[in-house]
Structure 1
């Protein structure tokens, strides 16, 4: 930020007037302007939007009806400029606060939409998972049914084989008894 200087310093303390310098003397009205060290910034600061141009225009208003001393006029102009800067700073703060509120609202909206979208995607994944379970369940049920049928048939064959084995054993015993006699 460029440094600002006054054209002439305003009196900051009162003293008794010297002879020939009293309030009766005709003192020319003076206006003071801000001078920047860096002219490349132009008439307005881009960061704040605060006008830092010459304040002599405001001084002209005071010159036409002024019965004040030049120091008082400068003080009024500076006070007016300070008030203007204060108002612009307050406006800037209000705009920042509004921007922050909008950002907060956007984030809340985004968060809600994100939560809804995540819930929606989770529901879709659950549905796909249950569909997959059902599909695999049907396949497993068919395989279990087939296994059950095979085991039942195997059990029947085992019983038939056991019956045939007993029959063969009985025939073998009969043949052995006939051969011994």
Structure 2
């Protein structure tokens, strides 16, 4: 990519002067600013002077055309940069989407394996709780038996 900024400089077409920043949407003028001298009543020039001023006018016209060409090339270059940037952005978005899908797939596999592990542990917990209920029922029976034996011992007369 070129090192020219896409925003923040004077417009390359030079029609806006130093005012607004260039945002890439400005189309350079195909016709540059024309420097037209004000019509004046000028004294007639000699042949040699007339050729000099005609040559000078042609040089100015050439410089104006070169400036317009440079502005056009700068604008085209910036448009190419914007195209490259847009293409880069699209390819980056596609890669990010693919990575996000891969991450999501890995998460689901991880969830699945953990769900199986949790299910196994819950089954084990359920079995342990059933055994605890059985032991608790046996303990109640033992407590009832001990209580009955104690009451029998307490109700017997002493010798």
Q: TM-score, normalised by structure 2?
A: 0.65
- What are the residue-to-residue correspondences of 1:1-181 with 2, within 5 Å? 13-14=42-43, 69-180=47-158
- How far has the Cα of 1:173 moved from its partner? 3.0
- Corresponding position of 1:27: none
Counterpart of 2:67 in 1: which secondary structure? helix
- How far has the Cα of 1:71 moved from its partner? 1.0
Counterpart of 1:155 in 2: which secondary structure? helix
- How far has the Cα of 1:176 moved from its partner? 4.2
- The CA distance in 2 between the partners of 1:177 and 1:97, in whole Å, is 113
- The CA distance in 2 between the partners of 1:126 and 1:179, in whole Å, is 79
Deviations 1:73-130 (A, max 9, x none): 1111111111221222221111111101101101111111122222222222222222
The answer for unaligned runs of 5 or more in structure 1 is 1-12, 18-22, 24-68
Deviations 1:132-158 (A, max 9, x none): 222222211111111111011001110
Q: Please provide the CA RMSD for this pair.
A: 2.4
Q: Which of structures 1 and 2 has the bigger CA Rg?
A: 1
- How many equivalent residue pairs? 119
Counterpart of 2:77 in 1: which secondary structure? helix
The answer for unaligned runs of 5 or more in structure 2 is 1-41
- How far has the Cα of 1:177 moved from its partner? 4.0
Counterpart of 2:152 in 1: which secondary structure? helix
